[in-house]
Structure 1
């Protein structure tokens, strides 16, 4: 497999996952802004702050920064060094770990 195809596949994997993440952020931002139109009371603000701190730590730091991002980068590097047509075609899914991974990682 030529180096240009590997680079193109890696770019497709990176940009495809970036687009998916930006789409999710956009959709969640719209929902969050709707909540401000309703208005919050004091107890709602307390729960919002507690939930935000918990989610930032559990999903942001532990889930994304320590688990998903290093695995994504390693799979992107693997895609560059060992390009296969199926992996290149489905690069965003491959880099995210949806296939060609252990059963434990899929769960």
Structure 2
């Protein structure tokens, strides 16, 4: 069986990986959820974790327009240079969780 595309994976799996990364570095579930809400508009307490990760990103209820300000490298790729919109959203979330895990300030405005 071939490797499953990350966008086809259940959100539950990706969410647990993102959360584990942050928790391992002393951050909280609430901080992870706040970052996700700021970027996507999804409230993780009410989202269907069985949905594919690609659907989660593509159908975000309020994807933050300020996401374009997210810069830096994830897995050696500059987030701001990614052209595919869905891949860019994925990497923007990865970058925010990486920064949270590294202890960087997450002074996210409450409004999108």
Tell me the TM-score normalised to structure 2 length.
0.31
Rg larger in structure: 1
Higher relative contact order (CA 8 A, sep 6+): 1
Tell me the TM-score normalised to structure 1 length.
0.33
